[in-house]
Homo-oligomer: A and B are copies of this chain.
Amino acid sequence: MRPEMNLRISPRTVQQETVGKLRLAIFSGVFQPGSRLVESQLCAQLGISRPSLREALRSLEAERLIEIVPNRGPSIPALSWEEATAIYEVRELLEVEAAGRCAARILPEQVQALEKSLVAFEAAAASNDSAAQVMTAADFYSIILANCGNAILEEVHRGLLARISFFRGRSMSLKGRAASSLAEMKDIYEAIAAGDVKAARKASKRHLLKAKAAAKISIESVT
């Protein structure tokens, strides 16, 4: 009777594992926008069967991370500037609201968590690791959303997160954007820590406007 230290709290299924891997791959730009994902290839690469892969693809489809057209299969959707604008507008709705709610109900230990993530972003911003910048920035907002007191708001935002991160990655590569972003996020943090709802909303809105402008520049420079 060997004491198998098998404390798997949540048994990661192949499906979950696959969704995670593909999400990360899409997020880090392994697949070009518009490119098609061939099932048999993915199966081979991931070492899984088609049914399992297809289940994972359905999950990703629902997240809008891929598109599945009947008889043509899954592909990476191309993001237009128009769509980016729409996303930033919805982000504004959601994040401004979340920041305000968060400021109204924040607890000390959550403030600490926020500060910690801000420090992490600061470190990332100092480096040139844009992936780390994107991740830490996402963390910062995730904490806010997680503490806004509305699980649906958080859920909806998470549904947008992949695409948000995509744009964030682009705009962070602009010179000076990370530093500027850091300052804006500090404003948000301070307003929340102070419990100032109005200031939190305002800071959040200002941050988004600037992020949007940065994203526009970075996108247009590519096209």
Contact = CB atoms under 8 A, between A and B. Distances in A.
A89 B55 contact: no
A149 to B, nearest CB: 8
B58 A89 contact: no
Nearest to A90: B152
Contact of A153 (B55, B86, B159): B86
B64 A63 contact: no
Interface residues of A, number: 34
Interface in A149-178: 150-153, 155-156, 159-160
Given A55-B55, A93-B94, A70 B152 contact: no
Interface of A is mostly: helix
A156 B153 contact: no
Copies of this chain assembled into the complex: 2
B71 A153 contact: no
A97 interface: yes
Interface string A40-68: 00000000000100111011011110000
A7 to B, nearest CB: 15
Contacts of A61: 59, 62
Contacts of A159: 156, 159
Given A58-B59, A62-B63, 13 more contacts: A15-B58, A51-B51, A55-B58, A59-B62, A83-B152, A86-B152, A87-B152, A89-B150, A89-B152, A89-B153, A90-B153, A93-B97, A93-B153
24 contacts: A11-B70, A11-B71, A13-B70, A15-B58, A16-B70, A51-B51, A51-B54, A59-B59, A62-B62, A62-B63, A64-B155, A83-B152, A86-B150, A86-B151, A86-B153, A87-B152, A89-B150, A89-B152, A90-B152, A90-B156, A93-B93, A93-B153, A156-B159, A156-B160
Interface of A: 10-11, 13, 15-16, 51, 54-56, 58-59, 61-64, 70-71, 82-83, 86-87, 89-90, 93-94, 97, 150-153, 155-156, 159-160
